[in-house]
Structure 1
Amino acid sequence: MSDRADALHPEGDPPYAWFRLAISLLVTTIGGVGLWSVVVALPAVEAEFQVARADAALPYTLLMVGFAIGGILMGRLADRFGVLPPLVGGTCMLALGYILAGQAQTLWQFALAHGVLIGLLGSSATFGPMIADISRWFTKHRGIAVAICACGSYMAGTVWPPIAQHFIETVGWRTTHVGIGLFCLVTILPLTLLLRRRAPEPVVRPVPAGTPTVAVSPGISPRLLQGLLVVAGVLCCVAMAMPQVHIVALCADLGFGSARGAQMLSLMLATGIISRLFFGWLADRIGPLWTLLTSSGLQALSLLLFLPFDGLAPLFIVSALFGLAQGGIVPTYAMIVREYFPASEAGARIGLVLSATLLGMAVGGWMSGAIYDLTLSYEAAFLNGFAWNLANIAIALFFLLRLGGGRRAAAPA
């Protein structure tokens, strides 16, 4: 770990940084289609290839695995060459993946197109590297900037499913996939031209002679800090997956229908956008460590609120509260990385933590389903999520004890 220093851009948060943030948000929203279109297309793909529901879900599984690994790979490329090369290459692979998926003659061809081209080499370039890049352009307002950029995944989840569903119903899933690929190509590539400028190198303020140097993260080694961030990412998202993955099935079990569950999921994502913006603003004022603890604690409480209610209106209210609580957790990991690690390592380190959150979502979704199969109820699954959330809170408390909770300057490059 390098010595602590104040790493500031000479111009503070320049106007171009806000313009770049707007472009980055567009890119993450468009590129985020890869995480959502496959879910909407599942029934059509199941019918086309005449496979079981579990087999039809294989493309989603491979997509998530590819996205997780790709986040690390693309982050390393962005650290070395800047965000532009992986973004341009990822956009081309994303488009190619959708076009080939639309031409698939077997389920395996469709699944590989999603796992390798859309997940590993495509959409992964439009999320983690973009968040790491935007964190380099902001100092004073880094928290809200990272949160806004991270909203792209939620905005994609709000915008893309109804669009994909409409075109699947009107022109078929094959034409829809080809169209999505072409749309990504003709929209994201021109936007990359506006991102050609490299982030300015941080300026390290001179330290007066005789002033003792302080480690970037006193009291904790870089390896332990990174490892705990990865574990925390898994823990919070195992808990987060319970309502996000199973709310539709829960509503169907209660007799409200899948459509109501889909509306609750959309409400979660919409309030999640508000949550990310609020907690980003909060992180700029109280620091990411306290923000992590606050958001994680509220998520734990909101999970418990699902237990006593089984009415339609209460579930809508609790779903909204859950979205308002959980949106601040994941972006704070990126802020912690930027404050306690060199900027030159941000892409790879943020990509690793974000990949861990995807692993947590995958494990949590499966685990909640397995618990339901054993108990024929989601009550134990909600309690299981709460337990994992408590472990995340424990890590947040450890960070506060060892690192302190105040807002600090970012680590130097």
Structure 2
Amino acid sequence: MSADDQRYAPDSSYAWLRLVMSLVLGTVACVGTWSVVVVLPSVQQEFGTLRAGAALPYTCVMLGFGFGNIAMGRIADRFGIVVPIVAGALLLGSGYMLAGLAQSLWQFALIHLVLIGVGGGAGFAPLIADLSHWFRKHRGLAVVFGASGSYLAGVIWPQVITWGLQNHGWRATHIGIGVVALVVMLPLALFFRRRPSHEQMAADEAASAGARGDLGLSASQLQWLLAIAGFSCCVAMAMPQVHIVAYCGDLGYGVARGAEMLSLMLLLGIISRIGSGFVADRIGGVATLALGALMQGIALFLYLWFDGLTSLFIVTGIFGLFQGGIVPMYAVIIREYLPAKEAGVRIGIVMSATVLGMAFGGYVSGAIFDYFASYRVAFLNGLAWNLVNVVLVCWLMLRSRSRVAAAV
């Protein structure tokens, strides 16, 4: 192996530097899924709409984000990660600037769908897929670090945007975010010009084909099984994530306590993601996903029994620690079993299924609350969807192990 090959080999110091740059990039690119939540009251007042109308841009940005993960992932598979990064920067930069100038709610929502949402997709699935090519021994850890950019964005950006709202207003804040996206993402794109070697990609293709053969499923069958599992787990996950603030308000603790719980959940979710990476590198992505899904179900079950302020903080912390590592495991499994050259689009499809699960879960939990005037049934609904995920993933894990044992 030449000196140049050693420098850019999997798990090299360059690979770890690429991971750090990906984390920075993902933190900036995923701003769209959080900014619209923070400015919702200001937008509602500005355009004189009801709360449901003000929430429309959130739905739009999530739909655009889901589509962006697939589209940007396919582009990354064909042309490399630089093209999606540049495209994402231009879409986000122009999107936020235009959002700051929007004169109506429908303009604001459309911009979030077509520009901000799609542009943000460049900072999630394509980055995760790209990182997976640069690691073998520590692939699980690298993938969860890459996926943590979206959570880190949720920790940092709301505070920055809140400051902007208080000092400059929501329009100037949006224009400022657009400038930041361009200034940070475009220069960083140059760092990602190097692509994995043909030899490395060929070795990964052979490894995934062998693992898929041991599993006894076609690539398409496994793809859709993971998509269904991802959708189910995120319907369950959405109940606390989307409704914890409203739940605390209904219990009389105030929305401020609920916001604190949400921040705690996301912060501990980052720790969970990193920890799951270490576990996945030792026992594999499928087993780690099964463990995470089971533990998420336990945390949801605890919500049924504890609703005191202190106990809710504890249960929410437990939920954050259990659920944070689940979504990245789908990417780890895809890299273990599906073709490496199609990693971008395949990870994008499954990540989009999880986004749709969050959107559906948030809506259906609210609808259940409206019908029963209680979140108890909504938590039970989340448990039911989580059970679907547990059954699918455990079946996949048992199938893998049984076929390997039979072969031996």
Query: Normalised by the size of structure 2, how large is the TM-score?
Result: 0.93
How many aligned positions are there? Answer: 393
Question: Does 2:221 match 1:224?
Answer: yes
Question: Does 2:147 match 1:126?
Answer: no
Contact 1:290 1:405 (C-alpha < 8 Å) held by counterparts: no
Summarize deviations over 1:381-413 as a string: whole Å, max 9, x none. 001100100100001111112223999xxxxxx
For residues 215 and 392 of structure 1, the distance between their equivalents in structure 2, rounded to whole angstroms, comes to 20
Question: Does 2:253 match 1:256?
Answer: yes
For residues 214 and 254 of structure 1, the distance between their equivalents in structure 2, rounded to whole angstroms, comes to 49
1:5-404 residue pairs with structure 2 within 5 A?
11-120=9-118, 122-203=119-200, 216-404=213-401
Q: How far apart are 1:21 and its partner, in Å? A: 0.2
Contact 1:236 1:360 (C-alpha < 8 Å) held by counterparts: yes
Q: How far apart are 1:188 and its partner, in Å? A: 1.3
* Structure 2: gaps (5+ residues): 1-5, 204-209
Q: How far apart are 1:218 and its partner, in Å? A: 3.2
Q: How far apart are 1:204 and its partner, in Å? A: 8.1
Q: Residues 307 and 142 from structure 1, CA distance in 2 versus in 1: closer, same or farther, beyond 3 angstroms?
A: same
Summarize deviations over 1:34-86 as a string: whole Å, max 9, x none. 11000001000000000111011111111111111111111100000000011
Contact 1:289 1:405 (C-alpha < 8 Å) held by counterparts: no
For residues 243 and 98 of structure 2, the distance between their equivalents in structure 1, rounded to whole angstroms, comes to 30
CA RMSD of aligned residues (A): 1.9
Query: Normalised by the size of structure 1, how large is the TM-score?
Result: 0.92
Contact 1:96 1:117 (C-alpha < 8 Å) held by counterparts: yes
Which is helix-richer, 1 or 2? 2
Q: How far apart are 1:308 and its partner, in Å? A: 1.2
The residue identity in structure 2 corresponding to 1:110 is: F
**Higher relative contact order (CA closer than 8 Å, sequence separation 6+):** 1
For residues 311 and 175 of structure 2, the distance between their equivalents in structure 1, rounded to whole angstroms, comes to 40
Q: How far apart are 1:187 and its partner, in Å? A: 1.0
Q: Residues 379 and 133 from structure 1, CA distance in 2 versus in 1: closer, same or farther, beyond 3 angstroms?
A: same
Match of 1:3 in 2: none
* Structure 1: gaps (5+ residues): 1-7, 207-212, 408-413
Contact 1:158 1:269 (C-alpha < 8 Å) held by counterparts: yes
Q: Residues 75 and 405 from structure 1, CA distance in 2 versus in 1: closer, same or farther, beyond 3 angstroms?
A: farther
Q: How far apart are 1:189 and its partner, in Å? A: 1.1
For residues 179 and 46 of structure 2, the distance between their equivalents in structure 1, rounded to whole angstroms, comes to 23
Q: How far apart are 1:247 and its partner, in Å? A: 0.1
For residues 356 and 70 of structure 1, the distance between their equivalents in structure 2, rounded to whole angstroms, comes to 12
- Between the aligned residues of both structures, percent identity stands at 56
Q: How far apart are 1:99 and its partner, in Å? A: 0.1
For residues 318 and 231 of structure 1, the distance between their equivalents in structure 2, rounded to whole angstroms, comes to 27
Contact 1:292 1:396 (C-alpha < 8 Å) held by counterparts: yes
